[in-house]
Amino acid sequence: MVCRGGLRSRACPRRPGAREGNARQLGVRSCGCGAPKADISSVEAFRRTLLAAKSIVYTDPAVGGASGIQFENVLDRLGIAKEIKTKSILNAHAATKPSAEFVARGEAELGIQLISEIVSVPGAELLGPLPGEFQTMTEILAGILTTAPEADAARALLRFLTSPAAAAAIKAAGMEPGNS
């Protein structure tokens, strides 16, 4: 069993000495395959690309998705929130219907989502991470519950997830292996 989001409360107690495995995901953008590649190489290029896009889909911040909340903060920092919101599609079901699917089906020109949620969608092209100063890491943590009936199996899984053997699979899924 794992604690969602690395919670450390009485509702999710961990065994003393339990290791935490983690993988980091980068908030990113996607574009429909076959379209000219948009330039997101700098903050100004990213700003121009967003303003030029006909439609942009991202996770509805009202449902609590980290990428949608982060993206709205980026829009505020760029000073273009009002312009972008008029052509935005807010995805309230991003957990089960990735925003990259809207792009792959041609329903949106650009999508903003976690890399791991883009690379798994056929027809969505990963352009890259947000420019550096807008990049935020989302850590995925795991711990062993004090009530875990199979604590030894859980420890073995965490050891594997933080091992060099798992690093290639984690990278292929669009994440960066974290520290153990």
Per-residue confidence of the chain (180 residues) as pLDDT tens digits? 222 333 333 344 444 544 444 433 434 455 555 567 788 889 999 999 999 999 999 999 999 888 899 899 999 999 999 999 999 999 999 888 888 899 888 898 899 988 888 888 887 778 888 888 887 777 777 888 888 899 999 999 988 988 888 988 888 877 788 764
In a domain, 15, yes or no: no
Domain that holds residue 81: 24-137
In a domain, 7, yes or no: no
Burial of residue 99, with CB atoms counted within 10 A of its CB: 0-12 exposed, 13-18 middle, 19 or more buried: buried
Q: Count up the domains in the chain and report the number.
A: 1
In a domain, 145, yes or no: no
In a domain, 2, yes or no: no
In a domain, 29, yes or no: yes
* DSSP collapsed to 3 states, the chain: CCCHHHCCCCCCCECCCCCCEEEEEEEEEEEECCCCCCCCCCHHHHHHHHHHCCCEEEECHHHCCHHHHHHHHHHHHHCCHHHHHCCEEEECCCCCCCHHHHHHCCCCCEEEEEHHHHCCCCCEEEEEECCHHHCCEEEEEECCECCCCCHHHHHHHHHHHCCHHHHHHHHHCCEEECCC
In a domain, 152, yes or no: no
Give me the CATH number covering residue 75: 3.40.190.10
In a domain, 123, yes or no: yes
Instruction: Give pTM, 2 decimals.
Output: 0.71
In a domain, 128, yes or no: yes
Tell me which amino acid residue 25 is: Q
